Amino acid sequence: MTDTPRPAPGPDGPSHAERAARAAEAMRAAEAAAAAPGRAPEPKPEEDRAPAPRNGAAAAQDGLPALAELFAATGVPAPLAARAAARLGPGAAGRLRDDPWRLLRVPGVAPRQADHFARAVLGDAARPDDPRRGRALVLHLLTEAARGGHTVTPVADVVSALERVRVGDPRRAVEAALDEADVLALTEEPEFDEESFAEDAEPPEPEETLGPARWALAEEAAAEGFQRLTLTAVPLLDDAALKELRDGLPEDRSLALTAALRTGVSVLRGTPGDLERAALGVAAAAAGQGLRVAVATPTDRAAADLAADLAADAEGVTVASLHRLLEPRDDPSAAPGAVVYGRGEREPFELDLVVVADAAALDVELCAVLVEACPDGAHLVLCAEPGAPPPTGPGRPLDDLEASETVPVVTLDAAPSGPVGALTEAVRGGDLAAVDAPGREVVIVPAESPGEAVHRAVQLVTDSIPRALGIPAEDVQIVTPAAGGDAGAGALNAALKARLNPGPGRFAGLDPGDRVVVAAPLPCAPTGETGVVTGGGPHGLDVEFPGGAAVVAPADAARLRHGWAVPVALARGTRRPGVVAVLTPDGLSRPLVATAFGLARRHLSVVQAAGPALAKAVREEEAPGRRTRLARLVVR
């Protein structure tokens, strides 16, 4: 199977060679911009053709007055100006006057809002068939698909969507988007089966897809990285040393150790507790033989917990969040909000073995950064629960890698530990089973309404769990399927703030003493990290994170949310002594419920406000599928 850039069909479009050359030029430019230091999944603002200003953030601020003036004159809400300046970069106001539909590049802007803005800017000249509108809508549709996890979308689906929003010539709109080089056309050759070789069978047609160049480049880089690590790998230990390490191990642990030390890339699946023990066992065994080893966790808090578990065997093993391992650095030339990593292709890890916990949470861009930071000959072990939810960002690298059948996959024998583990394992198998919990390790709290669910959750965190189980409130994490809704993270945090730390929200809606969570990566903390606000002012927010005190710049404060209650997607990978899972009918799936329950180390309270929808979701609902290319790219 091949998967190559190619033009979408169009009567007057550029030739295949022209389009391929343009796509290659875009890829080279993006790769040069993203070459180590690596960049977190955060897009750069658009740049003027003139030389770039000395600092992206400063330049965006310089253009903010002009943008605010334009928005005031056209009725656009003032708070959108800062977001637009950060996303569109210097000269945003002038660029929007020339092409008002570029406003669709700003997150949260819908097509009808962009159309309204275009009419305010262009007057009667703003028409549904304006080529600028069609071009912008193509990228917008693909970006929205990426928010749902897809890295590519069939051309036919894009054309149909453009017709629904009254784009007169959808094919020409696609061509215009391709000319901008933000979108790539990709031809995916079909799989062949026995029927394809029948005498009278018509050969299947290649499927034409479109994808934002950003994700296409990331999938190419991740695939090349996996191939490179596989091809350059040699056994890290000789047969005699490996045999000695394997002696006495159960078969599943022996296979995991062998895969880790023999092959360049391997996947390890198991329950949260089993994965922790196996990962630590592999790391300690390798370090004991003089190998340079690191275990990468999703957050600094998870790293501290894992390092404490490693304890006596910790000598020679680096345990850190992946964010910290990649060495985030301040870069004055970085785009506003972007995180620049020091480790990458030009400055790779100085490691022989890297073990990544909860690798299912890696979206395709962070996965590309990771594999590019692994030097030739290094071994990479990717750990995840069976059937783990896909990442919040686009792609599904771990599932795609496993589907490619190019790397060994070892599944640990399930050994549920206690009632929480038994319940989690039952859910993972599709059964919402009752478990025996004599020490109140699992408690089910029914709630008839979202309001009652919020009330019960607050009561559990502030009174019942600390009083009855001795787990302090700061060690209890509330998780919920989503941020919004009457019993979502937002509503729960409002109730918890009123109870635990009332205040006016003096600093960007936050007060000293508020628990916060990082909703998008910061230079000082990874996504999902929680901390406590200690102060604030014109300089930014002072936050005490597990990795130490940090100052979050005013421009980055929007990346923080109240963190007493968080969506499961942000909580994953960081287990807590106590977890309160507030479940309502919306957004439930078997992977999400299993992940939520598996976050609890000692105690799990389930506030059951979903009724029969919970059992139905556990029994029937898998995570939604995603359209991606990585599995095909790895084997090409």
Question: 3-class SS at 571?
Answer: helix
Quick one: angle between helices 16-34 and 213-232, nearest 10?
70
pLDDT of 308 reads 86
Give the residue from 431, 428, 500 showing the smallest Cα distance to 460.
500
Give me the sign of the Cα torsion angle 437, 438, 439, 445: positive
pLDDT of 43 reads 44
pLDDT of 198 reads 57
User: How far is residue 21 from each of residues 26, 53, 419, 433, 568, measured CA to CA in Å?
Assistant: 9, 29, 59, 57, 43
Q: Would you list the DSSP string of 332-394?
A: TTSPTT--EES-SSSS----SEEEETTGGG--HHHHHHHHHHSPTT-EEEEEE-TTPPPPSSS
Q: Would you list the DSSP string of 465-529?
A: HHHHH---GGGEEEEES-SSSTTSHHHHHHHHHHHHS----TBTTB-TT-EEEESS-BTTB-TT-
pLDDT of 3 reads 47
Classify 623 in phi/psi space as left (phi over 0), alpha (psi -120 to 50) or beta.
beta
pLDDT of 7 reads 39
pLDDT of 196 reads 53
CA 205 to chain CA centroid, Å, is: 33
Cα(285)–Cα(493) distance, integer angstroms: 43
Question: Which residue is listed with tokens 């391992």?
Answer: 325
Contact indicator for 99, 93 with CB cutoff of 8 Å: no
| Average pLDDT per consecutive 10 residues, the chain (636 residues; last block may be shorter) | 42 41 46 44 41 42 80 92 83 93 93 96 93 96 94 95 92 93 83 57 76 93 97 96 95 96 97 90 94 96 88 77 93 72 95 96 95 98 93 95 96 86 93 91 96 97 96 97 95 97 93 96 94 95 96 88 96 95 94 95 96 94 91 92
Contact indicator for 295, 279 with CB cutoff of 8 Å: yes
pLDDT of 571 reads 95
pLDDT of 39 reads 46
Cβ count near 374 (within 10 Å): 24
Q: Does an H or E element contain 302, and which?
A: helix 300-310
Contact indicator for 138, 173 with CB cutoff of 8 Å: yes
